[in-house]
Structure 1
Amino acid sequence: MFTASIASPALAAWASGIATGLGLFAVVGAQSAFILRQGLMRAHLKSIIAVCALTDALLITASVLGLQMLTGVVPWLTQGMLWFGVAFLSWYGVQSGLRALRAESGLAAAKTAVPSRRAALLAALGFTLLNPHFWLDMVVIGALADGFAETRMLFAAGVICASVLWLMVLAIGSRLFAPFFTRAVAWRVLDALIAVVMVALAAGLLAKGI
């Protein structure tokens, strides 16, 4: 009984963290669209997943330890990240739109246009750290963690597990759908959809900043 009474709050905090993380992360946003495309191109996917998972883990831990207080100390940080996000998402949306207008020869041609590992990792960091929605998620996670008192780090562990799970779903999903992307038209449709997503996200952020 004594063991169960200790384990129950810990398990509840961890499970709540997983549920919260999936609710926040399991959406096809800017980072997800980028990972899917890199996975379909089989371009540095493992490195990208590792960087995204590590970045998420570090920021989730920091948010639970008090990162949400940072925006109160540096009030311009949120607005600055918003405008950086608008510029970054707009740029990538335009690039995706231009790719959608070009006639490519499918998966093989896409591989020839793959950036270097360094460029891919910098882009992954950009889609994570220059996304104001990501920082809003961190604030929400930090605020929710306060309600778990001494088990808040187990809550953080659950959120981290959810992040890794979603990243693995994206990685596996991109591999499963790879056979459908042997034709140029599939790549053009994908890039067109990515362009729409990026521009819509940038427009949403712009509307908030005005």
Structure 2
Amino acid sequence: MDYVSGFALGLSLIFAIGSQNAFILKQGIKKQHVFAICLFCALSDALLISAGVAGFGAVTAKYPNIVSLAKIAGALFLLGYGLQSLYASVSKSHALTQDNQQVSSLKKSLLLCFGFTWLNPHVYLDTLVLVGMVSTGADSKVQFGLGAISASFVFFFSLGYGARLLSPLFAKPKAWSILDALVGILMIYLAWYLFDFLPSLNRGDSYS
């Protein structure tokens, strides 16, 4: 039962479309480094969830400045990537099709994935704080943690490999331009969202 509860909580927290999920979706459609990216995201979640269940959430609750610093770094990263995506959506050289892919290196893809994962303050709030707190009510914290970790693996690999079902919709460069524009807008919105919450953090208010 604790495993099922952990799985349900983990899935509900990760299901919302955010910067990380948007990046995985785009890579899945492009069919580039899907396994490595999904594995990186799942293992990152596993590490953070394990730390949260082990009690590290108490540290972030006691020192909210850790989350504040993550918000600043994350907002700057998202802003930069968002502007880059918007530029790509209107660039004359933008010609991403199924037959003519602009292939990014594995190293570059993983570095971007690192930014979307570890510079996202909500990841820490969800895994270290929320999952950590909820796990204290479980009879078996190990089973609860394994359930939440399993949810991450199931979700990321389903998103990454399921995205290719959308490939027929992206047979034309215009579709990729629209996708880049939507991703860019999402990233810039998330960056603004993080900056907007920084003043309250600096005053020491709740960051939940």
Fold conserved between structures, TM > 0.5: yes
**CA distance in structure 2 between the partners assigned to 1:61 and 1:106 by the alignment:** 39
Corresponding residue number in structure 2 for 1:173: 162
TM alignment of 1:46-65, pairs within 5 A? 46-65=35-54
Q: Which moved more, 1:123-132 or 1:172-181?
A: 172-181
**CA distance in structure 1 between the partners assigned to 2:147 and 2:163 by the alignment:** 24
- Contact residue 41 and residue 110 of structure 1 kept, 8 A: no
Over aligned residues, Cα RMSD in angstroms? 1.5
Q: Which portions of structure 1, spanning 4 or more consecutive aligned residues, are displaced by more than 2 angstroms?
A: 72-76, 103-106, 108-112
Corresponding residue number in structure 1 for 2:95: 105
- Structure 2: stretches of 5+ with no match in the other structure: 200-208
Residue 126 in 1 paired to residue 115 in 2? yes
1:13-36: CA deviations, max 9, x gaps? 111111101110011100001011
Percent identity, aligned pairs only, is: 37
**CA distance in structure 1 between the partners assigned to 2:121 and 2:64 by the alignment:** 14
Corresponding residue number in structure 1 for 2:10: 21
Structure with the largest fraction of helix: 1
Residue 159 in 1 paired to residue 148 in 2? yes
- Structure with larger Rg: 1
Corresponding residue number in structure 2 for 1:9: none
TM-score, with normalisation over the residues of structure 1? 0.89
**CA distance in structure 1 between the partners assigned to 2:88 and 2:109 by the alignment:** 17
- Contact residue 63 and residue 142 of structure 1 kept, 8 A: yes
How many residues are matched?
197
Q: 1:36 aligns with which of 17, 25, 34?
A: 25
Corresponding residue number in structure 2 for 1:116: 105
1:159-179: CA deviations, max 9, x gaps? 111111111221132111112
**CA distance in structure 2 between the partners assigned to 1:109 and 1:79 by the alignment:** 43
Q: 1:69 aligns with which of 35, 58, 74?
A: 58
1:146 aligned partner, one-letter code:
T
